[in-house]
Amino acid sequence: MATTKTFMLLALLLLISFPIPGPVNAGQNTREELIREYREADLNKDGYVDEEEYRRFIKKRFESMDSNRDEMLERAELKELKKEEFVLTDRNKDRRISFREFLNGRLRFFNEADVNKDALLSLEEYVKMKLMDPVKW
């Protein structure tokens, strides 16, 4: 019986030390990617991403995700996004996400991450915002 217990304990320890990678991290950006992205978004290179800079960056990304160029994001163009999140972002319920809808959804996270409300995001705030955002884009 003692060996069974030891075995169980070992199995448990193994489970704890090697967590099975879940879908939680699927499509998650690495920190390096986020830093690169942050630098790209900071157009005037002042070390902060302001709302206007972020708007422009979102526009660029939106266009690159819109593979059929109809100025709408359909389900197929946002595969990794959870259905509930898609429905939430699609305010007018036409099953497509317009640029306006996409922008509003992203700016919600911008404002949430901007704790001191100066409409500027530091690198840390930017990383925080991207982690909140269910769209891994």
**Contact call for residue 42 and Ca ion (CB under 5 A):** yes
Interaction mask 58-87, Ca ion, x per CB under 5 A: --------x-x-x-x---------------
Among 40, 46, 112, 118, binds Ca ion (CB under 5 A): 46
Among 62, 78, 90, 106, binds Ca ion (CB under 5 A): 90
Minimum CB distance to Ca ion smaller for 102 or for 109:
102
DSSP string, the chain: -HHHHHHHHHHHHHHHHSPPP-GGGTTPPPHHHHHHHHHHH-TT-SS-EEHHHHHHHHHHHHHHH-TT-SSEE-GGGGTTS-HHHHHHH-TT-SSSEEHHHHHHHHHHHHHHH-TT-SSEE-HHHHHHHHHH-SS--
**Contact call for residue 40 and Ca ion (CB under 5 A):** no
